Structure 1
Amino acid sequence: MPETIEDVTYRHQDWYAEELVDRHFVRCEFFHVDLTEAVSQGAVFTECVFGNVAFNASRHIDSAFTRCVFKRCNLFEAEFTGCKLVGSSFDQCDLRPLRIDGGDWSFVAMPGADLRGVRVTDARMREVNLTGADLTGATVTGVDLSGAQLHAAKLVRADLRGSDLTALDPTAVERAGAIVDAEQAIVLAQALGFEIR
């Protein structure tokens, strides 16, 4: 069983290239912690707060960050593979170029986030809040976006193929050059009131 660390505050710590394997943090706070090139595998963070934390080039595999708050964190070139971030929020974070492969990011709040060119594949992002987010040139393929809040999002030149776009109002987003497949085109046409025959 992984050891559980509860209610601890970490400040100004250097965890560069640290390996966080099977560790469980509950309600812990991390301020100005350097997690550059750190690797987490099977780690669990529950209701933790990350403030001004550097996640640059960090790799996270099958880890969970549930109901966590990320504020002014740098996730430059961070990668999340098969991770669970249900109910977490990102505020004033540098999220480019982020890579998300698989996992569950449902109920995550990223309103107004700069997500230009990020890569999200085969993830579940049900009811994610991307209101006003900039996904220009992003790859968002095979993603479950059912119930997502996408009002005023920029999807210019974004590759959206294979994703669930049932929650998307095509008139409420910037969408020039966005790429969809034939099945999605039918969903979007129906959203606009067209009848497909």
Structure 2
Amino acid sequence: MNDPRILPATLTAQSFLAITADEDRQLQMAHVQQQTIADQSLEHPLIDQCLFEGTTFINDNFYRAELTDVIFKNCTLVNCQLEAASLYRVQLQNCKLVGTTFDHAVFRDVVITDCDLSLANLNEVKFTSVKIIASRLVEVNCLDSVMIKTQLTRCDLNQADFSGTGLKALDLSTCDFDELRLTANDLRGCHLNTEQAAYFAQQLLGVQLA
């Protein structure tokens, strides 16, 4: 796991909307604070070595966004479209990402902590060296994705759908859910606690425990 290569002391205060005036749609070495960005549409924006704090994104469309060495703290990204985005060495801390779409994205060296991703779409995503910690993934759609060296720790996964996503070597034992949607093949090689194993034995195999 590689951390973002960013030195906050070297960043300059900037408006996110400066990216709209840049010919290459690039924002670099920026510290963006307490801004609201709504209903913006940018194709292939390049965001490099940036820190976002207390920033709100609502109904924005950033198709094929490339985020490299970026930190989000106490931010909101609600109902945004980041389809086919690339996230490299990105951290999200205490952020709200309800209803945001990351379909066909690539996550590498990403850490998500204390975030709310309820109702988010993460279909056909490639996760490599990703940690999701103490976060809500309620009713998340994560279909046909690939998880390599990925960790889910102390997360709420209730009614999440992982159909078609192999969970081999993934440890779900610290996570909570009353219902989780997947197939027996998806679950193969996954680490579970006793209560979770009993749930899947009944749901997927029809086993009735005494």
Q: Which TM bucket (shorter chain)? A: 0.7 to 0.9
Alignment of 1:87-166 (within 5 A): 87-166=99-178
Does the residue aligned with 1:117 lie in a helix, a strand or coil?
Answer: strand
Deviation of the 1:56 alpha carbon: 1.1
Between Structure 1 and Structure 2, the one with more strand by share is: 2
How many residues align structurally? 193
Change (3 A) 1:45 1:22: same
Amino acid at match of 1:196: L
Paired residue secondary structure (1:15) = strand
Contact 2:78–2:99 at 8 Å: present in 1 too? yes
Give the root-mean-square deviation of aligned CA atoms: 2.3
Measure, in 2, the Cα distance between the counterparts of 1:156 and 1:73: 25
- Richer in helix (by share): 2
**2:132 aligned counterpart, secondary structure:** strand
- Partner SS state of residue 184, structure 1: helix
Segment drifting more, 120-129 vs 141-150: 141-150
Give yes or no for the alignment of 1:54 onto 2:66.
Answer: yes
2:187 maps to what in 1?
A: 175
Partner residue in 2 for 1:194: 207
C-alpha distance in 2, partners of 1:170/1:58? Answer: 32
Q: Which digits, 9 at most, give the CA deviation of each residue in 1:81-111, with x for residues without a partner?
A: 1111101101332212221111110110111
Secondary structure at the aligned position of 2:112 is classed as strand
Conservation of the 8 A alpha-carbon contact between 1:152 and 1:172:
no
**Cα offsets for 1:7-45 (capped at 9, x unmatched):** x95662331121111110010123333211211111000
SS in 2 for 1:25: strand
Mapped contact 1:55–1:78 kept (Cα < 8 A): yes
Percent identity over the alignment is 22
After TM superposition, the runs of 4+ consecutive aligned structure 1 residues lying more than 3 A away are 8-11, 169-173
What is the letter of the counterpart of residue 89 of structure 2?
E
Counterpart CA distance in 2 for 1:140 and 1:5 is 31
Structure 2 Cα separation of the partners of residues 157 and 85 of structure 1: 26
In structure 1, runs of 5+ residues without a counterpart are: none
Q: Secondary structure at the match of 2:201?
A: helix
Letter in 1 for 2:85: C
In the alignment, the residues of structure 1 paired with residue 153 and residue 174 of structure 2 have an alpha-carbon distance, to the nearest angstrom, of 5
